[in-house]
């Protein structure tokens, strides 16, 4: 969260960040500004919907509003990925009954579906399944067991029936579909993401680190500053720790995408998997977003359910960096109220003692100097009375990211001259991103100017301690090598 340079912080500082998806609801006059003012830290541009010009227009409006409000708001572009769907029915929908036979025919005309069969847009499906496999349609609402495969026809028995309408998604329980993570549409959208200047790009359905490496290669030099987010929604991506850790290490952040993931691994396994993903992401110094149906009832209701309150709070207590809203803010009736409710729940959960205690890497060695400084600063701050904040002068945002892996009730202030670094830090748990242009400052006055910035924001006041990290050479990547404990109000000039 950031505020204008001379607007002090009067309310408690929320550590968990809020990602909000943009869409028709946020396009209503005045709504987007109210959403950002209510606490949105990252906006999500969903490339599954809308044209490139829609995303360009929305992001330009976000940047204008954020600059006017003194906020650093990051932009997350979200690629559609290989969403595997059935084709269409002649009459728009059919009703399937338990025990009946039903055929998925990848060679059938896309508009010719009926009560006995339907086409499929993923032509390799007949090669990816065998007798005994279980297919889940429409986010698991309908269940089909594969009886046998004959050429283009997948013959199934309906285990759980219901109404099936056009273009519903197909998942294979346990994973194993061979569709590539990047489709032709994704490759075109990737160019759009570079062109409009997103800060993060989410890759849907990666199976392994190789999919993330391919996305990075396609971004190339033009997209070198875009952080990649792996959406974990395939069973094989979380099947073992080696695969999961490989995907995490190949990304700058990960998303617990609980919709498709829950369908593939089963809801009973989802809660443990969510906690495992968050733990692994934090141990590898990566940001993590928890997503899907977090406050879904607020699409049509001005208040969340108690279950949704507990769901969001549980993710906060697990130390997720961010919680994400989808249709709630893109298409719902109460987008601003949803953000306000989510912010209240996050703050409530963060007051719990467990949210402020950490044993992160306490028994591990360090290999990097900047990492050692960042973690030492956090442990010092958590154990020294009178500390108001941890301030990190940073060129890239890496030191605040490392510091934010440790639970704390204290704000971490990222002081950066680079707008890209400022926005990237908007995703990190507990980090307040502030512009701090050091180009006209002498080395001797840096510390005093930093303290003045914190006082102006209302983060610290005279008599407080502030733990400051910086490098001998400002704006150098990986150059943080100094930790100082400063008293606000004292003269800290060294030149």
117 is catalytic: no
For 228-256, b/e burial (b = at least 16 CB within 10 A) is: bbbbbbbbbbbeeeebbebbbebbbbbbb
Q: Is 465 helix (H, G, I), strand (E, B) or coil?
A: strand
Residue bearing tokens 């906020």: 71
Alpha helices, H only, 220-305: 241-249, 258-265, 267-283
Rounded to whole angstroms, what are the CA distances from 309 to 26, 315, 343, 482? 23, 10, 11, 41
231 is catalytic: yes
Strands 287-291 and 322-325: parallel
Q: Is 281 helix (H, G, I), strand (E, B) or coil?
A: helix
Is there a contact between 140 and 262 (Cβ–Cβ < 8 Å)? yes
Is there a contact between 473 and 454 (Cβ–Cβ < 8 Å)? no
Please list the residues that pair with 164 across neighbouring strands: 94
Alpha helices, H only, 43-113: 52-69
306 is catalytic: no
DSSP state, residue 426 = G
Give CA–CA dist 354/314, Å, rounded.
11
Q: Spot the catalytic one: 2, 16, 156, 292.
A: 292
Give CA–CA dist 86/463, Å, rounded.
65
Q: How many CA atoms lie within 13 A of 460 on its CB side?
A: 30
The closest of 479, 325, 319, 428 to 72, measured between CA atoms, is 428
Q: Spot the catalytic one: 44, 88, 117, 216.
A: 44
> Both tokens of residue 330?
């893109």
480 is catalytic: no
Q: How many CA atoms lie within 13 A of 342 on its CB side?
A: 36
CA–CA–CA angle 392, 398, 404 (5° rounding): 70
Q: Spot the catalytic one: 57, 83, 85, 141.
A: 85
> Both tokens of residue 52?
């490139």
First to last CA, the chain: 32
For 361-398, b/e burial (b = at least 16 CB within 10 A) is: beeeeeeeebbbbbbebbeebbeeeebbbbbbbbbbbb
Give CA–CA dist 384/386, Å, rounded.
6
Give the contacts of 240 (CB within 8 A, at least 6 positions apart).
none
Q: Spot the catalytic one: 88, 207, 231, 282.
A: 231
The closest of 134, 205, 136 to 169, measured between CA atoms, is 136
Query: Which residues are part of the catalytic machinery?
Result: 44, 85, 231, 292
């Amino acid at each position: 969260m950031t505020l204008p340079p001379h607007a002090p912080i009067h309310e408690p500082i929320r550590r968990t960040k809020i990602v909000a998806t943009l869409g028709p609801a946020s396009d209503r006059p005045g709504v987007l500004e109210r959403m950002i003012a209510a606490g949105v830290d990252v906006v999500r541009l969903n490339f599954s919907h809308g044209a490139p010009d829609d995303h360009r227009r929305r992001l330009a409006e976000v940047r204008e509003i954020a600059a006017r409000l003194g906020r650093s708001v990051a932009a997350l572009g979200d690629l559609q990925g290989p969403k595997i769907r059935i084709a269409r029915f002649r009459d728009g929908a059919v009703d399937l009954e338990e025990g009946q036979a039903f055929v998925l025919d990848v060679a059938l005309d896309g508009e010719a579906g009926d009560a006995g069969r339907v086409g499929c847009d993923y032509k390799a499906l007949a090669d990816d399944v065998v007798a005994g496999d279980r297919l889940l349609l429409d986010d698991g609402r309908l269940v089909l067991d594969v009886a046998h495969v004959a050429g283009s026809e997948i013959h199934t028995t309906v285990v759980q029936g219901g109404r099936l309408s056009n273009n519903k998604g197909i998942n294979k329980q346990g994973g194993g579909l061979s569709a590539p993570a990047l489709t032709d549409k994704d490759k075109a959208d990737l160019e759009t993401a570079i062109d409009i200047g997103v800060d993060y790009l989410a890759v849907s359905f990666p199976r392994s680190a190789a999919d993330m490496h391919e996305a990075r290669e396609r971004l190339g030099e033009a997209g070198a500053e875009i952080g990649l987010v792996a959406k974990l929604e395939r069973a094989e991506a979380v099947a073992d720790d080696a695969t999961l850790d490989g995907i995490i290490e190949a990304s700058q952040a990960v998303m617990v995408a609980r919709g498709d993931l829950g369908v593939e691994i089963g809801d009973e396994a989802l809660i443990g998997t969510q906690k495992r993903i968050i733990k692994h992401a934090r141990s590898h110094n990566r940001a993590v977003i928890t997503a899907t149906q977090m406050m879904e009832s607020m699409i049509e209701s001005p208040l969340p359910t108690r279950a949704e309150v507990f769901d969001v709070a549980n993710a906060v207590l697990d130390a997720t960096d961010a919680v994400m809203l989808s249709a709630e803010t893109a298409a719902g009736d109460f987008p601003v109220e949803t953000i306000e409710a989510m912010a209240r729940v996050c703050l409530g959960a963060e007051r719990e003692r467990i949210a402020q205690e950490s044993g992160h890497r306490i028994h591990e060695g360090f290999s990097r100097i900047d990492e050692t400084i960042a973690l030492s600063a956090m442990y010092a701050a958590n154990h020294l009375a009178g500390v108001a904040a941890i301030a990190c002068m940073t060129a890239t945002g890496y030191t605040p990211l490392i510091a934010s892996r440790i639970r704390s009730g204290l704000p971490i202030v990222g002081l950066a001259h680079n707008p890209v670094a400022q926005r990237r830090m908007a995703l990190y748990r507990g980090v307040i991103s502030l512009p701090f242009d050091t180009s006209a400052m002498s080395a001797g006055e840096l510390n005093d100017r930093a303290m003045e910035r914190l006082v102006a924001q209302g983060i610290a006041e005279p008599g407080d301690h502030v733990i400051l990290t910086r490098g001998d050479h400002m704006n150098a990547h990986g150059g943080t090598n100094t930790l100082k404990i400063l008293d606000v109000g004292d003269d800290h000039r060294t030149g």
